[in-house]
Amino acid sequence: MTYLVLVRHGEARLNLEKRFAGWLDTPLTEGGIEDALRCALDLEGIDFDLAFTSKLIRARETLFLILSKQKKAGFLVHEAGAEGENAAHREWYSCPENFEDEVIPIHSSEALNERYYGILQGKKKKKMKEKYGDEQIFTWCRSFETGPPEGESLKDISARAVPFFEKEIFPAVKAGKNVIICAHQNSLRALIKHIENISDEEIPSVALATATPLIYGFSEGKLVKEKR
**Catalytically active residues, by annotation:** 9, 114
Contact predicate 114/122, CB 8 Å: no
Rounded Cα gap, residues 163 and 159, in angstroms:
7
For 74, list phi and psi in degrees, rounded to 5: -90, 140
**Could you give the CA distance from residue 217 to residue 157 in angstroms, rounded to a whole number?**
24
The one-letter amino acid at 27: P
Sign of the CA dihedral running 130, 31, 8, 183: positive
Count of other CB atoms within 10 angstroms of residue 133: 11
Positive or negative, the Cα torsion across 176, 114, 9, 77? positive
Q: In what order do the strands lie in the sheet containing 214-219? A: 73-76, 103-108, 50-53, 179-183, 2-8, 214-219, 222-225
Distances from the Cα of 55 to the Cαs of 81, 136, 225, in angstroms?
Answer: 18, 29, 26
Beta strands at 73-76 and 103-108: parallel, antiparallel or unpaired: parallel
User: Are 52 and 108 a contacting pair, CB within 8 Å?
Assistant: yes
